[in-house]
Amino acid sequence: MAGPTGRGGSLGAALGDLLRSQVTPRHRLSSYTAKHWHAQLSQLTATHRGLQALEDAGLHVTTRTLVSWLSDAEYNVRRNYRDVIHTAYENTAIVPAGPIPDHIRRGQYEISGVVKTGDDERTRGTLGAAPLRIDGSRGNWDQIEELWLAGELTDDEFEDHFVDDVIVEDIGEGTDGWEFPGVAYRVEVR
């Protein structure tokens, strides 16, 4: 039975496609578009998560004050309070990424596409050629996960770290390092 699969125009794009199909990336909620402090406060006070974000951001006012603010959009709220409301709003609008699942970190990878090490360049995983097989459990996923959780794992970064921290950890440097100069890749985890 086939496992999770990613496809892309580079190894990094295929790896990114695979990961995004398995776990939710850090993202901004599309419903959080309010610009004015009053609209932001209205949205935040409508949910427990929003009220917690206000508290975490340092807004400590009485219920009476909140009601006054919410009942009048033209209420003269001090700038530092508006800044706290905005910070809470922005923090609530971001949904954190889920951690990279164990089946991805410990999986057996099959990479199809052009693989090059030194002068040896060949297409793997098609036309009867075996895919490049990598044991993900031997890799060091710390940098990949750190970038993923921060929302900073680009396809290029993923490819670089996967080569250095997973492929090299499993099968070594290769003749002169590993390159993936092709234009189409398929990555499957078993």
Give me the pLDDT at residue 1, please: 59
Q: Which amino acid is at 112?
A: S
| Alpha-carbon distances of 26 from 42, 133, 147, rounded to whole Å | 24, 29, 10
Listed residue (161, 144, 153, 141) closest to 25, CA to CA: 153
Q: pLDDT (tens digit, 0 to 9) for every residue of the chain, 190 residues total?
A: 579 999 999 999 999 999 999 999 999 999 899 999 999 999 999 999 999 999 999 999 999 999 999 999 999 999 999 999 999 999 999 999 999 999 999 999 999 999 999 999 999 998 889 999 999 999 999 999 999 999 999 999 999 999 999 999 999 998 789 999 999 999 999 9
Distance CA 190, CA 188 (A): 7
Give me the pLDDT at residue 174, please: 81
Q: Is 69 exposed, middle or buried, given 0-12, 13-18 or 19+ CB atoms closer than 10 A? A: buried
